[in-house]
Structure 1
Amino acid sequence: MYMKTTNEYRVEHDLLGKRELPVDALYGIQTLRGVENFSISRFRLDQYPLFINGLAYTKWAAAEANHQLGLLTDEQFNAIKAACEDILAGKYHDQFLVDMIQGGAGTSTNMNANEVIANIALMHMGHQPGEYEYCSPHDQVNRSQSTNDAYPTAIHIGLYASHLKMLPHLKELIASLKKKGDEFAHIIKMGRTQLEDAVPMTLGQTFHGFASILENELLHLEEAATDFLTVNLGATAIGTGICSEPGYAEKAVEALARITGWKVVLSEDWVGATSDTSCMVGYMSAMKRVAVKLSKISNDLRLLSSGPRCGLGEINLPARQPGSSIMPGKVNPVIPEVVSQVAFKVMGNELCTTMAGEAAQMELNAMEPVMAQCCFESIDLLIHAYDTLHTLCIDGITANEAKCVEEVHNSIGVVTALNPYIGYDHATAIAKKALETGQSVYKLVLEEGILTKEDLDTILNPKNMVRPVKLDIHAKG
């Protein structure tokens, strides 16, 4: 590759010919071709700064290893390092132009990074963008690398950083649910199974249940994310390490671990690792688990708040916007609705990632770009969903305590609490009669003289129906 410069543009050449670029562009001809070829989605590299950082970390580590092996001059290494530090500081991200979804197994992304870093390095060296005889995207920035090891390494580092970014947002949602559970701990309500009355519980137990099922996913996410810390940097084209020197891979990964501060390790089998994208499949699966639970929670919030007069109406969600262009006074549960939609999108991305992971052929998976896009997008969506659900919904929920208590008193479901004392068959007869006559279970038990009022009140005390208890009560007859 070479270039010549005019006042307005420079001309770069590659295998396919020559192209004009703006004279001050920090990207090069292969980035330009990638932009032209892959106008596929609205997801460009510059929308994912942590992925760009992953590219910078990878190129910095590779340059350090090459410098230690005498393959880069002091000036070239220091300039490449400075360029990577600039990118990590948030500079020049607007020069990462290519679409996340692309053919070529990520070559356009790798070359976008190589060209931008080379041109920033040239400016640090006192040269103009495009003067590649001093620092080349290929011969210096991409030295000892292939797209097939640099690109997946950058994805791994970017996704691990994204995972660390996401965790606090999920933990804040969990904390919000726990706080609401404590607030509602004293409110008795009916539990439901298959949308039918079941047995009493507290509203606090409902919200603590929401918190616990999400908290259980923290470990699964952590375990899945740990796989990202194993990289194939140094494997080059297919895992044989061609075009690299002995010791390069080990030095590069050691540098990557030191620069990031993470326990990054080198894959044991480079050939296997170069075509294996199962770490993304695994992490997307972990995110899908969270998405399934988020949607379940959202569905429950919609049901519990349904009404306001003709539904369950046990809780009130914060009113966020008018709910209808034709029905005055209607307010919809818009926050749980949007969170469920995020969950559906994450589930869809998980399927896409699984199918793309299965599409690996021979020594490479050319479908890796769409897998990366699905993972990065899903993390961003979940972060926004966590924040939106907890700040615009959970924190502002109030309880209709009187409605909750009334439902317990009127429910047939409380008869279940009598099972240990009057037997299943007797309890069933009471439940059937209550359904037929419309009378309460409480009244029927007293009328038939099965239990004393004192014993019945003890059994049906809310505190005795929402936890395991042992009561010294015996039915008459």
Structure 2
Amino acid sequence: MFRVESDALGSETVPSGAYYGIHAVRARDNFTVSGRPVNPRITRAIVMVKKAAAKVNGRQGNISEQVASGILSACDELLQGQMDQHFIVDAYQGGAGTSTNMNVNEVIANLAIEKLGGHKGDYRLVHPIDHVNLYQSTNDVYPTAMRIAMIPLLRSLSEEFASLQEALQEKEREYADVLRLGRTELMDALPIMAGQSFGAYAKAIARDRWRLYKAEERLREINLGGTAVGTGMNAPLAYIYAIAEELRELSGMGLCRSDFPMDGTQNMDVFVEVSGLLKAAAVNLLKISGDFRLLNSGPSGGIAEYILPPMQVGSSILPGKMNPVIAEMAGSVAMKVISNDTAVTLAAASGQLELNAFAPLIAESLLESLEILTEAVRLFHERCVRGLKVDTAHCLEHLERSGVMAAAAVTYLGYDAAAELAKSAAASDRPLKEILLEQGLMTKKQIDAILHPLQVTKPGIPGRSSDL
């Protein structure tokens, strides 16, 4: 069964049971791209904008009390997510989000019509544009909805980074006294405490946490009320000043009306800034997860100083093989976030004159990055970092066999002599302490003082009480 609806292009059949209308049908047919609908967070954010507009327009007498009541009731139902299947426009679309906005307008209108006792498609009762979209344009609705959709995710992501930071700091404390071999350019370097490496990771994650927390401020300024190009044409001043207040109260977010809506209508640089912060966080996650995989490598043929929690069988042909799947997942997500940042950057830079036609791509890319990064960080700290163990015996074995402790003797023996000492230790596969004693270069007391773990992992000259 179908109903017939009309627009400026002519008529089109719409399934009689559908809450969407002709605009959504045309968009569905035009954009058969991914088969994936618009992110539900965007459609629900637009519904929230429509609810705020209906409250203001009803209160100011711009629409009848009956129409306002029907729209508000429809919005409340849609915000529960029970009718997402009626938002049918593909995630990848042209038109700066107009198709998504119209899909929402139609679903709200038809649901409101039913609630008022009418039949779907009878827009004399509630019209998608004249009532639901009154005093709005896609160009102020969509950028506003993008912000509303992203702010809660930013908060959640910041909280997950806080949990990851805490997990790394726990490892810093747990392994504060464990000496291990430091490495630069994948080659043996100066000794460090295992806890110090976790502390360095925690510092990087702390920066990400703070940057993401502060990024919300960039998204609070909305252009709602600016209509098509930011001038506010066709919207009464009373509505323009009231709508931002209403939306702030409705959303529970610290939203504020832009003092120059044209800026928020045509410029997308704030989303590039947020995406850049997500990229920076992804870079740190990729680095840390990569380090974990490297230090976990082996166990017999690799470094094997870290022992990552075994989460699942790793091979269909190698019995007993366990792969670092959680760290790999975290790295994969980080790579995707980095690639999404490129899409956001190009889309924002491709805006022209008074509007950016690629806002839907920015929204999809950023929302995906926020969603997958939040979940990846949660899984990484819960299923990888918290269960990670450091093989202290293996760390000590690598350190003693490396000869890098010779660096602690440079001040006392000179660089060339220390280099020969390191070479001898590596060639004979013997601890440095034995060779120092054997060659009579130092006394046991001197060796214990100079090569003490707390001396070789802090600023200053090893073995000296003060180097001032």
TM-score bracket relative to the smaller structure: over 0.9
Answer yes or no: is 1:53 the counterpart of 2:41. Answer: no
After superposition, where does 1:319-338 map in structure 2 within 5 Å? 319-338=310-329
**1:257 deviation in Å?**
1.0
In the TM superposition, 1:174-323 aligns within 5 A as 174-323=165-314
CA distance in 2, matches of 1:358, 1:473: 58
Question: Counterparts of 2:158 and 2:215 in 1: how far apart (Å)?
Answer: 13
One of 19, 24, 49 as aligned partner of 2:12: 19
**Residue 89 of structure 1 aligns with which residue?**
80
One-letter code of the match for 2:7?
D
Native 8 Å contact 1:455 1:473 kept in 2: no
Which residue in 2 is equivalent to 1:458?
Answer: 449
Verify the 8 A CA contact 1:213 1:293 in the aligned structure 2.
yes
Which whole-Å CA distance do the structure 2 matches of 1:151 and 1:471 have between them?
A: 62
Q: Which of 12, 23, 39 is 1:30 aligned to? A: 23
1:44-443 paired onto structure 2 within 5 Å: 44-45=37-38, 48-435=39-426, 438-443=429-434
Residue-by-residue CA offset, 1:75-118 (whole Å, 9 max, x unaligned): 22222222222222233222212112101111110001111111
Matched-pair contact (CA < 8 Å) for 2:455–2:463: no
Question: Do the aligned partners of 2:401 and 2:426 also contact (CA within 8 Å) in 1?
Answer: no
Equivalent residue for 2:3? 10
CA distance 1:473–1:158, shift in 2 (3 Å): closer
Normalising to structure 2: TM-score of the pair?
0.93
Partner AA of 1:243 in structure 2: N
Question: Do the aligned residues in 2 keep the contact of 1:276 with 1:360 (CA within 8 Å)?
Answer: yes
Q: Which runs of 5+ in 2 are unaligned?
A: none
Distance 1:42 1:306 in 2: 40
Number of equivalences: 465
For 1:116, the aligned partner's letter is V
1:50, 1:162 within 8 Å by CA — same for their partners in 2? no
Cα deviation, 1:281-327, whole Å, max 9, x if unaligned, reads 11111111111111111110111011111110101122233333333
In structure 2, C-alpha distance between the alignment counterparts of 1:134 and 1:422, rounded to whole Å: 94
Structure 1 residues 285 and 43 mapped into 2: Cα distance closer, same or farther (>3 Å)? farther
Amino acid at match of 2:34: S
Secondary structure of 1:192's match?
strand
Tell me the percent identity: 37
Q: Tell me, in whole angstroms, the C-alpha distance in 2 between the residues paired with 1:232 and 1:473.
A: 64
Distance 2:31 2:12 in 1: 17
Distance 1:311 1:299 in 2: 14
Distance 1:106 1:324 in 2: 45
Provide the alpha-carbon RMSD of the alignment: 2.1
Other-structure match for 1:4: none
TM-superposed deviation, 1:421: 4.4
Distance (Å, rounded) in 1 between the aligned partners of 2:234 and 2:414: 79
For residues 133 and 4 of structure 2, what CA distance do their matches in structure 1 show? Answer: 21
Q: Are the aligned partners of 2:402 and 2:425 in contact in 1 as well (CA < 8 Å)? A: no
| 1:3 aligned residue | none
Secondary structure of residue in 2 paired with 1:393: helix
Name the SS of the counterpart of 1:11 in structure 2.
strand
Residue 473 of structure 1: CA displacement? 4.3
Amino acid in structure 2 at the alignment position of 1:37: N
Task: State the 1:247 CA deviation.
Answer: 3.2
Amino acid in the other structure paired with 1:392: R
Q: Helix, strand or coil: the match of 2:237?
A: coil
Distance 2:188 2:463 in 1: 27
Counterpart residue identity of residue 53, structure 1: R
Equivalents in 2 of 1:279, 1:237: separation in Å?
Answer: 20
- How far apart are residue 216 of structure 1 and its match? 1.0
What TM-score results when the alignment is normalised by the length of structure 1?
0.92
Paired residue for 2:438?
Answer: 447
Deviation at 1:219, TM superposition (A): 1.7
1:187 to 1:416, Cα distance in 2 relative to 1, 3 A: same
Shift of 1:425: 4.8
How far residue 141 of structure 1 moved from its aligned partner, in angstroms, is 0.7
- Equivalent of 2:34 in 37, 41, 62: 41
* Structure 1: runs of 5 or more not aligned: 1-7
Distance across 2 between alignment mates of 1:203 and 1:434: 23
Q: Distance in 2 between matches of 1:209 and 1:273?
A: 38
Cα deviation per residue 1:412-467 (whole Å; 9 max; x = unaligned)?
22122334444545433433443455544323332343332112112222233223
SS in 1 for 2:4: strand
1:215 and 1:144 map into 2 onto residues whose CA distance is 43
**Partners of 2:163 and 2:463 in 1: how far apart?**
43
